[in-house]
């Protein structure tokens, strides 16, 4: 008797935290298959690789966002930091700085911005929403102090990276940016699942007060995730600069919301403590695939992407509710 109920429990409880990720994966496969049936030349490996190529910067930004959301926070500044990173790169390169020095400097600035916001959030106990909203305005405003115009990038290192394709055998190839994004994902997944920092992220998001009373370094963890997010945003900005070969203060407007959407579609709880990085990857892929399908459709304008993403978010949050309904409701 007990062994049977035990088995049943096992079947019910273990996959529960994986269900949202599995749903997203299923959704992705369904979209891909539908696209393949509907359009010629769709069901190829290169289509998926193109999604990676076109969304490498979003993927990197969403990785940072995943860390923040897992602690129960939010980072609204990422889009502006991406724009700031492109502007800084473009203007410094124009002034004749060496490419690698520019990259390092941009990454450091992104990390420091994140660190500062994290410190303010933790030590002054201000809501992350407000602090990062301020950070968002600040970074966006700094873009315009550099220039209000778009600055083209003609630095040979940057243009090389933009034009290089890494051959994967067959007819498949990806851009260096996509490779960088995948490397970031792998490192981040390892950090989240196999290190103490990762554990502290989940514990802080699950219950900050409990984490404090367990002696976990909550302060360090919270500051670390915003630093990671700032760093990822700056890296995303560099990838965006490779992609667009320009710096512009109006680029990546609203990207913070795309990143949040990707994380949520990937099954991470906005309240923190539960979710997986692979879910975020799938979330970005789903968003990218919607764009691809709409471009294949041809007759639809690009703003249909937004409508689909909006509907998808709704459907997805409803699905999460339905599948995990039992666990949310308490039976005392």
Partner 1 sequence: MTEHILRMSGITKTFPGVTALQDVNLAVRRGEIHAICGENGAGKSTLMKVLSGVYPHGQYDGEIVFEGNRCEFGGIRDSERAGIVIIHQELALSPQLSIAENIYLGNERARRGIIDWNRTNYEAGELLKRVGLRENPTTTVSDIGVGKQQLVEIAKALSKEVKLLILDEPTAALNDEDSAHLLDLLRGLRDEGITCVIISHKLNEVIAIADSVTILRDGHTIETLDMAADSVTEDRIISGMVGRALDNRFPPRTPAIGEEAFRIEDWTVYSPSQPGRKVVDGASLMLRRGEIVGLAGLMGAGRTELAMSVFGRTYGVHISGRVFKGGKQVELRTVQDAIRHGVAYATEDRKRYGLNLIEDIKRNISAAWLKGLSRRGWVNEYEEYRVAQQFRGSMNIKAPSVDSVVGKLSGGNQQKVVLSKWILTEPDVLILDEPTRGIDVGAKYEIYVIINRLAEQGKAVLVISSELPELLGLCDRIYTLSEGRVTGEVPREEATQERLMYLMTKGQE
State the residues that interact with partner 1 by CB under 8 A. Answer: 5-6, 8-10, 12-14, 16-17, 194-200, 202-203, 206-207, 209-217, 269, 273-274, 327, 331-332
What whole-number distance in Å separates Cα of residue 293 and Cα of residue 10?
39
Cβ proximity to partner 1: between 232 and 269 the closer is: 269
CA distances to 90, 112, 135, 166 from 146, rounded to whole Å, are 10, 19, 17, 34
Which residues does 92 contact at the CB level (< 8 Å), separation at least 6?
Answer: 102, 105
> How far apart are the C-alpha atoms of 122 and 194, rounded to whole Å?
25
CA 160/CA 82 separation, integer angstroms: 21
Q: Find where tokens 């269900």 sit.
A: 19
Q: How far is the CB of 304 from partner 1 (least distance, A)?
A: 36
Q: Which is nearer to partner 1, 105 or 197 (CB)?
A: 197
Q: CB of residue 75 vs partner 1: minimum separation in angstroms?
A: 21
- Name 174's bridge partners: 166
CA distances from 305 to 77, 310, 312, 332 (A): 23, 8, 10, 43
The residue (of 158 and 202) whose beta carbon lies closer to partner 1 is 202
Q: How far is the CB of 20 from partner 1 (least distance, A)?
A: 13
Give the residues across from 166 on adjacent strands: 174
Q: How far is the CB of 5 from partner 1 (least distance, A)?
A: 7
* Distances from the Cα of 10 to the Cα of 14, 20, 167, angstroms: 6, 18, 44
Residue 3 beta carbon to partner 1: minimum distance, rounded to whole angstroms: 10
Number of other CB atoms surrounding residue 212 within 10 Å: 14
Beta carbon nearer to partner 1, 156 or 325 = 325
| CB nearer to partner 1: pick between 90 and 203 | 203
Least Å distance between CB 269 and partner 1?
A: 8
Shortest separation between residue 234's beta carbon and partner 1, angstroms: 23
Nearer to partner 1, 195 or 295 (CB): 195
Give whichever of 223 and 284 is closer to partner 1, judged by the CB atom: 223
**Whether the Cβ atoms of residue 151 and residue 256 lie closer than 8 Å to each other:** no
């Amino acid at each position: 008797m007990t062994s049977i109920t035990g088995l049943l429990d096992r079947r019910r409880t273990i996959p529960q935290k994986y269900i949202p990720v599995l749903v997203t994966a299923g959704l992705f496969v369904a979209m891909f298959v539908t696209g393949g049936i509907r359009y010629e030349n769709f069901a190829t490996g290169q289509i998926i690789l193109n999604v990676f190529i076109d969304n490498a910067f979003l993927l990197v930004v969403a990785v940072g966002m995943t860390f923040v959301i897992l602690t129960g926070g939010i980072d609204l500044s990422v889009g502006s930091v991406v724009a700031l990173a492109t502007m800084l790169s473009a203007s410094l390169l124009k002034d004749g700085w060496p490419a690698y020095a520019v990259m390092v400097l941009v990454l450091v600035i992104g990390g420091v911005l994140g660190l500062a916001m994290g410190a303010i959030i933790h030590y002054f106990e201000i809501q992350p929403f407000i602090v990062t909203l301020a950070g968002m305005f600040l970074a966006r405003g700094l873009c315009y102090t550099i220039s209000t115009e778009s600055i083209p990038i003609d630095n040979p290192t940057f243009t090389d990276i933009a034009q290089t394709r890494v051959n994967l055998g067959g007819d498949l190839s990806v851009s260096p940016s996509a490779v960088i994004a995948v490397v970031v994902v792998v490192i981040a997944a390892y950090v989240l699942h196999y290190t103490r920092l990762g554990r502290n992220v989940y514990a802080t998001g699950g219950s900050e007060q409990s984490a404090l009373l367990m002696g976990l370094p909550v302060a360090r963890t919270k500051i670390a995730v915003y630093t990671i997010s700032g760093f990822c945003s700056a890296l995303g900005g560099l990838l965006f600069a490779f992609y667009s070969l320009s710096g512009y203060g109006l680029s990546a407007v609203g990207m913070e919301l795309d990143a949040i959407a990707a994380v949520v579609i990937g099954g991470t709880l906005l309240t923190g403590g539960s979710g997986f990085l692979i879910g975020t990857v799938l979330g970005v892929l789903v968003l990218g695939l919607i764009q691809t399908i709409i471009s294949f459709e041809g007759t639809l304008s690009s703003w249909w992407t937004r409508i689909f993403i909006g509907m998808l978010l709704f459907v997805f949050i409803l699905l999460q509710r339905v599948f995990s309904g039992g666990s949310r409701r308490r039976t005392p």
